[in-house]
């Protein structure tokens, strides 16, 4: 098996479930040290415990990405435990109308629901990028991978704040890439279409007539986080089964 992440420390935000969990497991299986940060601290530690049981170096830590102090604690924890911070993969997020049980139209959606969407999906990644960047610049190495969405490219009439936040991640990615370029610090965004992380995704249409398997998105994340992508930075990778090619035909 390849050991693309040997002697590297990866912080996986939202790493207790879904794409984040699989990313953490794959990085650990290839020799990486993994810090699993998640709002569900018990689930984060459970995932980390299972990795330790298989011989990997892994820790779980609770983190609410809306809280700057939590974000900085994760950074400090990673440095305390391993002495470096080489990879940040930020997968935490979700559509506010689903997460906050507010299914009505955008113009009637409570402001606090919109705030939740922006805080979790945009400000959280922004806070984490700020928290880890100086460490990576001093190390003269590092990779930041942000999880975007097809909605950030096409827009969405139902998930307006989510689409706004995910579009913002593309600008954040480009900005981080410009800051880090001379210091071997890269930044990339991965924007999936529907992914089979929950049953509702299976019915969302794409030109390929299916949603993505979780591994199909994670494989792209792993490639970009590895040295195989050492000359790739500032880009947004679509993993959407062609949905962006005809978004008007595939409403959400």
- 54 in a structural domain: yes
Average pLDDT of the residues of the chain: 95
78 burial level (CB within 10 Å; 0-12, 13-18, 19+): buried
**Is 199 contained in some domain?**
yes
Span 115-158, pLDDT tens digits: 999 999 999 999 999 999 999 999 999 999 999 999 999 999 99
Whether the per-residue pLDDT at 252 is higher than 60: the answer is no
Do the domain assignments include residue 1?
A: no
Asked if residue 3 is part of any domain, the answer here is: no
Residue 52 lies in a domain: yes
Is the pLDDT confidence value at 202 over 80? no
Residue 33's pLDDT is 98
**Is 4 inside any structural domain?**
no
H or E element in which residue 174 lies = helix 160-180
**Do you know the residue count of the chain?**
252
Q: Is residue 128 part of a domain?
A: yes
pTM for this entry: 0.95
235 membership: H or E segment, kind and range = strand 235-239
Q: What amino acid positions are annotated as catalytic residues?
A: 162
In a domain, 2, yes or no: no
- CATH number of the domain bearing residue 234: 3.40.50.720
Number of domains observed in the structure of the chain: 1
Flag whether pLDDT at 246 surpasses 80: no
Structural domain boundaries enclosing 200: 9-249
Percent helix, strand, coil in the chain, to 5, is 50, 15, 30
């Amino acid at each position: 098996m390849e050991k693309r992440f040997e002697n590297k420390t990866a912080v996986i935000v939202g790493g207790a479930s879904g794409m984040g969990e699989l990313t953490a497991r794959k990085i650990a299986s290839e020799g990486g040290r993994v810090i699993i940060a998640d709002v569900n601290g018990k689930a984060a530690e459970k995932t980390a415990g299972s990795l330790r049981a298989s011989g990997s170096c892994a820790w779980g830590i609770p983190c609410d990405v809306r809280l700057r102090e939590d974000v900085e604690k994760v950074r400090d924890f990673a440095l305390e435990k391993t002495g470096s911070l080489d990879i940040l993969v930020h997968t935490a997020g979700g559509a506010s109308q689903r997460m906050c049980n507010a299914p009505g139209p955008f113009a009637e959606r409570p402001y606090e629901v919109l705030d939740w969407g922006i805080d979790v999906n945009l400000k959280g990644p922004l806070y984490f990028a700020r928290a880890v960047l100086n460490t990576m610049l001093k190390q003269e190495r590092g990779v930041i991978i942000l999880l975007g969405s097809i909605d950030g490219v096409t827009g969405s009439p139902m998930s307006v704040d989510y689409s706004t936040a995910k579009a913002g991640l593309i600008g954040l990615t480009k900005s981080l890439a410009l800051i880090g370029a001379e210091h071997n610090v890269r930044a990339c965004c991965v924007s999936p279409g529907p992914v089979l992380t929950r049953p509702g995704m299976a019915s969302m249409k794409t030109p390929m007539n299916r949603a993505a398997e979780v591994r199909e998105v994670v494989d792209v994340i792993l490639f970009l986080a590895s040295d195989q992508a050492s000359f790739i930075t500032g880009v947004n990778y679509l993993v959407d089964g062609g949905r962006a090619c005809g978004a008007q035909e595939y409403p959400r």
